[in-house]
Amino acid sequence: MTNDVRSYVADHSADLLADLDAWLRIPGISAQPERRDEVIRSAEWFADACRRTGFPVVEIWPTDGMPTVYAEWPSEDPDAPTVLVYGHHDVQPVDPIELWHTDPFDPTVDGPVLRARGASDDKGQLLFHLLGVRAHLATTGRTSPAVTLKFLIEGEEESGSPHFEALLAERRDRLQCDVVVITDTGMLAEDTPSAVTGMRGLVLADVHFHGPDLDLHSGVFGGAVPNPAQAVARLTAALHDDNGRVQVPGFYDDVLELSEQERELLTRVPFDEARFLETSKSRALAGEAGYSTLERIGIRPTAEVNGIGGGYQGAGSKTIIPSDAFVKLSFRLVANQRPAAIREAVHAFIEEHTPPGIECTINWEAAGVAPCLVPIDTQAYQALSRAVCAAFDADLILPTWEGGSGPEAAIQQELQAPMVFLGVGLPDDQIHAPNEKVTLSMLYKGAEAAAHLWREFAEVGREGLKS
């Protein structure tokens, strides 16, 4: 079976590549309102690809924001489990555009990798699924999959999924399933298959400070009126103490500490700090005192500055007190932190750090994303493990705690089904950065793993997936 699947995928890899080239040319950046039509075009492209693959039901679901693609392929077996696959068709912005070596929307194959915005996050991974379905059918001789497949492919993941929870609630009946497969993550390395077992949540805040109603001459007014750029810097600096601990009161109150078993598993992850440092293209590691790098990026909550700005941005100097300044903050949450509580605590912290004479506006990007956990002793996780091992010729997969955040927690809460993560990104894919790439062999292994997974889930059965 493994060899059949592998041969099928190898024989049809050119199809995946051709589809990837076509889809990646559509710049569906959901965070940029002016790209709205492109995001819609991206949804339509993927819907058409599902139809070409053979899905009998393909729909585009509008939201108050960007559209979601829904594709369904019922199994002919009456007792087959139903699997919901989640991914997203929108992509990140591309700036700073000047750091790209190639046009982000002109996909370029460079030896073993393909470079383009969205190549790894998440278009490449969704396309391995389409090839995976075909491989599953061809190698099992079936005309419908061994499980009922429901693909739910969102269009706003890269801008915080603001309308996704409403969509889940509205469409809950159609989305009923026995297990959820999230495909928007990565593995430790090409030769180290792994699966996410914990995912951090996210709260995003765009903080705007308004000072004088116009830029002032700093020689005339400097030192006598509040400076919003200085205030934003002081707020930002106050977020951490010298040990890298977040100083928002109550921030750590709900954090679930790891169990002994989980902590032991974490130590077995072959984490290469030197390699992590190299991948990060940084000159040092840093972070919360008392935790390893792996813990800092996986199991600890963080506060990060994603952008800061205010005042003169051009060449040379301009001696002004700026009228406005801003800071864009992201907070990564771990189980059992609740986005609403963190948002409230951060709000109070920002107000506390808004000096007199400064007007503060906080724009919360959606309601936030709750953290989520995958227990490793479930049959769903064991089935995933077998499928991935078959694709990678491996004996076991390692659990990881990934830092990325999507609407996984909302899916888990709304659909009340076990969840597993099948994703084949690599740490050096430079997702969200210039020169994003995907390693093509990982996509082919992903297609293999998906083909195996539908069979594994069918063998476990609906009852088995409950335990």
Note whether 190 binds a copy of itself by CB under 8 A: no
**Side-chain-facing half-sphere of 401: CA atoms under 13 Å:** 27
Give the contact letters, 40-79, x = binds to a copy of itself (CB under 8 A), - = no. Answer: ----------------------------------------
DSSP letter (8 states) at residue 255:
P
Residue from 18, 166, 225, 340 touching a copy of itself (CB under 8 A): that is 225
DSSP secondary structure of 142-158: -SS-SSEEEEEEES-GG
Smallest gap, in angstroms, from Cβ of residue 314 to a copy of itself?
A: 6
Smallest gap, in angstroms, from Cβ of residue 233 to a copy of itself?
A: 4
Cis bond leading into 3, ω under 30°?
no
Residues 23 to 42 in contact with a copy of itself, rule: CB under 8 A:
31-33
Residue from 330, 338, 367, 464 touching a copy of itself (CB under 8 A): that is 330
Residue from 54, 62, 74, 226 touching a copy of itself (CB under 8 A): that is 226
Residue from 77, 215, 254, 272 touching a copy of itself (CB under 8 A): that is 215
Comparing CB distances to a copy of itself, the nearer of 193 and 310 is 310
Smallest gap, in angstroms, from Cβ of residue 103 to a copy of itself?
A: 17
DSSP letter (8 states) at residue 231:
H
DSSP secondary structure of 101-131: SS-TTS-EEETTEEESTTIIIIIHHHHHHHH
Query: Is the distance from CB of 304 to CB of 185 less than 8 angstroms?
Result: no
Comparing CB distances to a copy of itself, the nearer of 244 and 464 is 244
| Binding span for a copy of itself by CB under 8 A among 58-66, 173-181, 355-363, 389-397 | 355-363
Which structure tokens are listed for 385?
């493990």
Residues 236 to 275 in contact with a copy of itself, rule: CB under 8 A:
236-240, 244
Residues 421 to 440 in contact with a copy of itself, rule: CB under 8 A:
427, 430-435
- Burial string for 94-132 (b: 16+ CB within 10 Å, else e) reads beeeeebeeebbebbeeeebbbbbbbbbbbbbbbbbbbb
Residues 80 to 109 in contact with a copy of itself, rule: CB under 8 A:
92-93, 95-96, 99
Residue from 65, 81, 132, 212 touching a copy of itself (CB under 8 A): that is 212
Name the burial class of residue 282, with classes exposed (0-12), middle (13-18) and buried (19+) by CB atoms within 10 angstroms of its CB: exposed
State how far the Cα of 20 lies from the Cα of 118, in Å rounded to an integer: 10
Comparing CB distances to a copy of itself, the nearer of 379 and 430 is 430
Smallest gap, in angstroms, from Cβ of residue 319 to a copy of itself?
A: 5
Residues 285 to 304 in contact with a copy of itself, rule: CB under 8 A:
285-288, 293, 296-297, 300, 302, 304
| Binding span for a copy of itself by CB under 8 A among 43-51, 144-152, 281-289, 444-452 | 281-289
Comparing CB distances to a copy of itself, the nearer of 143 and 313 is 313
Report which of 33, 145, 42, 146 is spatially closest to residue 87, judged by C-alpha positions. 42
Spell out the residues 6+ positions from residue 85 whose beta carbon is closer than 8 angstroms to its own. 129, 149, 150, 151, 152, 180, 181, 183
